[in-house]
Amino acid sequence: MKRIAPVGPLGPLGRLGPLGRLGAVGALVLAAGLLSAGVVSPATAEPTPTCGPQERALEQAGDNFATVCDLPGARLAGIEPAQPRIRSGQVDRSPNMRQVARVPLAGAFTDDGDYGTDLAFTGKYAIAGNYEGFTVYNIKKPRQPRRVAQVVCPGSQNDVSIYRDLLILSVDSLRSNDTCDNEPASMGLPLPLPNPERWEGIRVFDISKPAKPRFVTSVLTECGSHTHTLAPAAAGRTVYVYVSSYGPSPLLPNCQPPHDTISVVKVPVAHPERSRVVSQPVLFPDGGTTGDDYSSDTSGCHDITAYPKRDLAAGACMGDGILLDISDRAHPTVIDRVRDTRNFAFWHSATFSNSGRSVVFTDELGGGGGPECNKQVGRKRGADGIYEVKQRSLKFRSYYKIPRVQSDTENCVAHNGSLVPVKGRDIMVQAWYQGGTSIWEFTNPRKPRELAHFDRGAISDRNLVLGGSWSSYWYNGYVYSSDITRGLEVFQVKARWAKKAAKVKQSVFNAQSQPSFNG
């Protein structure tokens, strides 16, 4: 039996039905995004359907993928079909970047809908989330990574973070219980809520023996945990987990509107079984941005990146980008807020420059399931927005988007990335789903430029099939990508800056808990 998402009166996602977590405004966002990319109604479409069984599987995914099939009978027609540089089966890469290894998804993680998600690193291990659980890879030899453990523990998205011997896992779909032996749970009625037989939140594992992870405990959080962020206390004996979630509904257990908060979970490192929610700061007392026909309503946050050494965090919160003071770890406070209702549909994630003087926000137009990297959508939508931090305020400087046109059958939009540790320069490696991996520089935030890339042709030249790189991160001299359908991939870059960066050794890396590389 497929164990992906709850089935109930609101549809298979259990979070506003086939509209995912964007709600009614999100439908309009996707309508705008898909139409601009060449998706039209049946009356004008070519006869090739794209919302078949593979595409319908997107409706069960958790990162807004379902929106690709929102328009009834929608088909990729190509009012002005995108003209990609390469076709299915081909590779477009810069001369300085090449693939050196791959470990495919295996076993219980090979069914349709068992998507690979985020990555975290500790020592010689990489851990990759999956909608069915997580996999531990030994990467001591980056060109020969080995799968050493695979834990079946269903619950979208299963994003991962690591602190010392602890692994934190995010669950953003209603489950029948908090353990790894669970099933999708119906939302159901009646109220009052929550219902103890319906759970979503974070799970905590002991990975002191990485090849033998051990479940320790779980914490129920409001609206589940789409993503999470680690903010360790100064002494290191406690780590705070900022839980981002969104998309409330009167019919959802433990997710009642309004939802203008995050949950802060305190995890005592020596006694993780005592983990608990210690605060729920309200980040949007006025309710946040009310979206229009393009931008989304704010009803929670999608992702937060902390910079613990600088007591700062940046939040991507649907219709808003925010800067947070986290000097009091248990009670983060908003110090600035920006919006871009013209070009940002869905504020998705954030990355600081090493100095903390700039922030890159990503816009996940199309929810990750749409073909948003073409001339119709343009260079400013589904892109990165670069902001400078001036006197603790965010000031817009420019947009960055990959320069290569992708086809109408490739889901492509800005997604997860991280800094490359190069002193004096701000270089970022970033995933773009089927747009591949781009390495680009924003040392001058007004003039970003690409330095390297690796991009495959569409999975299918005929149908829109979900795939591509979910996360691309730099770790100890190599680029690691968690591909939605291909598994773990490893890349090497030949450049002077890459050679310098390879000398910076990290013992742990979580993209959402940003380290300072240069003191």
* 198 vs 214, more confident: 214
When pLDDT is cut at 50, 70 and 90, the band that residue 251 belongs to is: confident
Whether 54 is in a domain gets the answer no
Tell me how far apart the alpha carbons of residues 103 and 144 are, in angstroms, rounded to a whole number: 9
Q: What is the mean pLDDT of residues 186-209?
A: 76
Q: How confident is the model at residue 191, as a pLDDT?
A: 46
CA-to-CA dists, residue 463 to 54, 277, 387, 410, angstroms: 9, 44, 36, 9
Residue 255 reports pLDDT greater than 60: yes
Beta strands in 123-262 (DSSP E): 125-130, 133-138, 146-152, 157-163, 166-171, 201-206, 214-220, 227-232, 238-244
Q: What is the mean pLDDT of residues 96-121?
A: 97
| Lowest mean per-residue pLDDT among 95-104, 186-195, 251-260, 327-336 | 186-195
Tell me how far apart the alpha carbons of residues 360 and 344 are, in angstroms, rounded to a whole number: 13
User: In 53-114, where does DSSP find H-type helix?
Assistant: 53-56
Whether 66 is in a domain gets the answer no
% of the chain beyond a pLDDT of 90: 78
Q: How confident is the model at residue 41, as a pLDDT?
A: 26
Contact 257, 239 (CB under 8 A): no
Q: How confident is the model at residue 384, as a pLDDT?
A: 98
When pLDDT is cut at 50, 70 and 90, the band that residue 291 belongs to is: confident
Residue 322 reports pLDDT greater than 90: yes
Q: How confident is the model at residue 20, as a pLDDT?
A: 36
Q: How confident is the model at residue 117, as a pLDDT?
A: 98
Q: How confident is the model at residue 66, as a pLDDT?
A: 53
- The CATH number assigned to the domain holding 424 equals 2.130.10.10
Whether 40 is in a domain gets the answer no
Q: What is the mean pLDDT of residues 102-114?
A: 96
Q: How confident is the model at residue 187, as a pLDDT?
A: 58
Q: How confident is the model at residue 284, as a pLDDT?
A: 97
Whether 85 is in a domain gets the answer no
Whether 25 is in a domain gets the answer no
pLDDT in tens, 475-509: 999 999 999 999 999 999 999 999 999 999 999 99
Q: How confident is the model at residue 188, as a pLDDT?
A: 55
Beta strands in 23-112 (DSSP E): 39-40, 75-76, 91-93, 97-103
Rounded (10°) CA dihedral 244, 118, 350, 67: -70
Omega before residue 445 within 30° of 0, cis: no
Whether 26 is in a domain gets the answer no
Q: How confident is the model at residue 65, as a pLDDT?
A: 59
Count of domains observed in the chain:
1
pLDDT in tens, 451-460: 999 999 999 9
Q: How confident is the model at residue 517, as a pLDDT?
A: 86
Mean pLDDT over all residues of the chain? 86
* 243 vs 197, more confident: 243
Cβ neighbours, 10 Å, residue 327: 12
* 60 vs 363, more confident: 363
Whether 24 is in a domain gets the answer no
CA-to-CA dists, residue 486 to 290, 364, 370, 490, angstroms: 38, 21, 19, 12
Contact 243, 265 (CB under 8 A): yes
Tell me how far apart the alpha carbons of residues 334 and 392 are, in angstroms, rounded to a whole number: 10
| Lowest mean per-residue pLDDT among 30-44, 297-311, 504-518 | 30-44
Q: How confident is the model at residue 194, as a pLDDT?
A: 52
Residue 59 reports pLDDT greater than 60: no
Q: Which residue range(s) make up the domain with 295? A: 91-509
Residue 33 reports pLDDT greater than 70: no
When pLDDT is cut at 50, 70 and 90, the band that residue 442 belongs to is: very high
Contacts of 499 (CB under 8 A, 6+ apart): none
Q: How confident is the model at residue 80, as a pLDDT?
A: 63
* 169 vs 69, more confident: 169
Q: What is the mean pLDDT of residues 409-419?
A: 97
Whether 403 is in a domain gets the answer yes
User: In 161-319, where does DSSP find H-type helix?
Assistant: none
Q: Give the DSSP per-residue string, 338-372.
A: E--TTT-S-EEEEEE-TTSSEEEEEE-GGGGSSB-
